Amino acid sequence: MGEELISVIVPCYNIEEYVERCIKSIISQTYNNLEIIAVDDGSQDRTGDILDRISAVEPRLMVFHFLNEGPSCARNHGLEKANGKFVMCIDGDDFIDKEMVRTMYDMAIRHNLDLVASNYTLYYSVKTQVVGNVTDKTCFRETSVDFINRLFEPSKRFCSAWAKLYKKELFEGVKYPQNIFFGEDMFVAIILFDKAKRLGYIEEPLYFYNQQGVSLVRSKFNKNKLCMVEAAKNWYVFCKSKYPCLANKALDNYYVTMIDMCTFLSAEKELYKYYNEYKELIRKELNYINASALRTNDKIKANMISRMPPWFYYIVHSIVRNR
């Protein structure tokens, strides 16, 4: 039986320093039956030119240039072009181990899996690399509950589209939300994890999550990041309906997300109205929060936020943090 075609989707925006490293890491995979779909999301630097230059000598690389519409639209464009039985997403400033596709595909085929995820490395430089998740072990008998449960452990970054191999059919009827410009993965991950009934995890860190330069994730706080609160609420509503065993974890995660956002918002005068909105929600549920499984530090923050205007919370939080 021949190897299945795998579509590798690479959204790219103003990453001229890193995009060639990313594409070359895909080209050099030991698994050869690939179509590489690079979506240039209206880059203003040399990203598009670099992609065109590589595609001129690499027949597996297809480059599509669009006006800047954001990461959701870029991924959606890539999915529309994908012809493979399996799909993999790689952010254009990241890169992958040469055995990544082979390792994940072999596990998917051997165990008839709908979705396979791998561990990752936080890449700062050649000399500074940190393995992302050191607790979970390789397992090819995971369930939707196992994967969704990881969403509530932020350190695992498990909602990310990257470091996963999906059966393309999972995306039938599923699109990344076009009006979301940060945290779009959060809205889609839980849907895909629910649709995938047979899942596997690989403890080997096969994906290099770049920490160099500036990206949406590492950029200064802005209003777009508030979408994470809406996504966290969606997770709770979803779990309450379909996975009640995870509902309390999802609700706690929702409040922690609001608490974290208030900490950022307290430093942004033009966004104080959002702080006050979350403050009221936290105040109304303070009894639940105080009795919940949240960390003591988060409970203290919630009590401070419920009683303090943003400017005062910012001062107090800054003093406590710097002690």
Q: What is the tens place of the pLDDT at every residue in 139-165?
A: 999 999 999 999 999 888 999 999 999
Composition of the chain by helix, strand, coil, percent to 5? 50, 20, 35
* Secondary structure letter of residue 15 according to DSSP: -
What percent of the chain has a predicted confidence (pLDDT) above 90? 89
pLDDT digits (tens, 9 = 90+) for 11-56: 999 999 999 999 999 999 999 999 999 999 999 999 999 999 999 9
**What does DSSP say about strands 95-96 and 199-210: parallel, antiparallel, or unpaired?**
antiparallel
CA atoms within a 13 Å half-sphere pointing along the CA-CB vector of 49: 5
* pLDDT, position 180: 81
pLDDT digits (tens, 9 = 90+) for 242-280: 999 999 999 999 999 999 999 999 999 999 999 999 999
30-44, 119-133, 210-224, 258-272: lowest mean pLDDT where?
A: 210-224
Residue 128 has pLDDT above 90, yes or no: yes
What average pLDDT does range 108-123 have in this prediction? 97
* pLDDT, position 322: 67
For residue 227, give the nearest of 190, 261, 259, 266 by alpha carbon.
261
Query: What's the pTM value of the predicted model, to 2 decimals?
Result: 0.93
Average pLDDT across the chain, whole number: 94
Three-state SS for 63-126 is EEEECCCCHHHHHHHHHHHCCCCEEEECCCCCEECCCHHHHHHHHHHHHCCCEEEEEEEEECCC
Beta strands in 186-290 (DSSP E): 199-210
* pLDDT, position 123: 95
Residue linked to tokens 């992609």? 51
Question: 116: left (phi > 0), else alpha (psi -120 to 50), else beta?
Answer: beta
Residue 323 has pLDDT above 80, yes or no: no
117-131, 174-188, 291-305: lowest mean pLDDT where?
A: 174-188
Residue 103 has pLDDT above 80, yes or no: yes
* pLDDT, position 216: 52
**What does DSSP say about strands 61-66 and 129-131: parallel, antiparallel, or unpaired?**
unpaired
What average pLDDT does range 77-97 have in this prediction? 97
* pLDDT, position 215: 55
Whole-angstrom distance, CA of residue 310 vs CA of residue 304: 10
* pLDDT, position 227: 93
